[in-house]
Amino acid sequence: MSRIAIRNLTVRYGKHDALRNMNLDIPDGKITVILGPSGCGKSTLLRSLNRLTDLYDEVSVEGQVLIDGENIHDPRADLLALRKKVGFLPQRPFPLPMSIADNVRFGPRIHRMTREDILRQIGAPADAAASRHAAMDLLVEHYLKQAGLWEEVRDRLHAPGANLSIGQQQRLALARALAVEPEVILADEPTSALDPISAQLIEKRFQALKEKYTIILVTHVLRQARRLADYVIFLYMGEMVEHGPASFLNSPRDPRTRAYVGGEIS
Ligand SMILES: Nc1ncnc2c1ncn2[C@@H]1O[C@H](COP(=O)(O)OP(=O)(O)OP(=O)(O)O)[C@@H](O)[C@H]1O
Ligand SMILES: [Mg+2]
């Protein structure tokens, strides 16, 4: 698992400070929830953890985000390796224009995994598949199960991913993200576009997966934070106001956190 340390991190869009001078260590193997009202910098913080900030013009990043001791914002950092280590689940799923199975196979193909790599990664015996193709089939099943989607799609693996419901697409996105075995999973309001049942399925998957991955989740839904969080970061207007084990939500020290938890601001 990866150690993530944020040091003196300031992120600006043009002259606007979206995040100001953050310092924080993110706990391994837990669900950390980034909580706060709209516009407070939650997505910006998440983006700065895998350099999605690069996609925006006029963005400037000061300070460091260290993952396993390496500053990912260093221009010399290996971006492909970073994106493999840190998976991302957006607010709305975007299935690739291909079959359900190919969506899951996509990452392992890009990373040119061999039959042996695949079997080792999914913990299957070395003789479980005779060919790379057969190993990929096992991989597809493995990650669809981890994402809680296998039973619903096992009979139509070759149908387009886009035919699935939004809730199923989000679980497919999770399977796709898991298939390259990231160490960290970032998720930006991953259930906000989903119906309550699908949202609950995704939440359950996160709870099951946290043993193995460090999960960092953005939400502005306080109840979701209470259900899922081991650790909470409360942001307000670009500032980290309070952070710690989730239990601090029961007795916040800062008046801004109290106002948020008490429903006076949302
Ligand atoms: N690409 C951008 N260009 C300019 N300003 C931006 C950009 N993205 C975000 N901002 C500004 O930076 C601040 C933080 O935005 P961010 O998207 O991180 O907030 P958020 O907490 O995720 O909000 P929400 O809950 O609405 O998603 C806001 O004031 C926003 O307007
Ligand atoms: Mg956001």
**Could you give the residue range(s) of every CATH 3.40.50.300 domain in the chain?**
25-55+85-92+166-261
Cα of 172 from ligand 2 centre, angstroms: 22
* pLDDT-based confidence at residue 57 (cuts at 50, 70, 90): confident
What CATH architecture applies to the domain 25-55+85-92+166-261? 3-Layer(aba) Sandwich (3.40)
Cα–Cα distance, 178 to 86 (Å, whole number): 10
| Helical packing angle, 132-146 and 100-110, nearest 10° | 110
Model pLDDT for residues 187-230, shown as the tens digit of each residue: 999 999 888 999 999 999 999 999 899 999 999 899 999 999 99
**7 pairs with which residues across the strands?**
64
Ligand 1 pocket residue status of 35, Cβ below 6 Å: no
- Rounded average pLDDT over 37-63: 94
Instruction: State the closest ligand 1 atom to the C-alpha of 45, by its place in the atom list counted from 1.
Output: 18
Model pLDDT for residues 70-83, shown as the tens digit of each residue: 999 999 999 989 99
Model pLDDT for residues 92-116, shown as the tens digit of each residue: 899 999 999 999 999 999 999 999 9
Q: For position 1, what pLDDT does the model report?
A: 56
Instruction: State the closest ligand 1 atom to the C-alpha of 44, by its place in the atom list counted from 1.
Output: 18
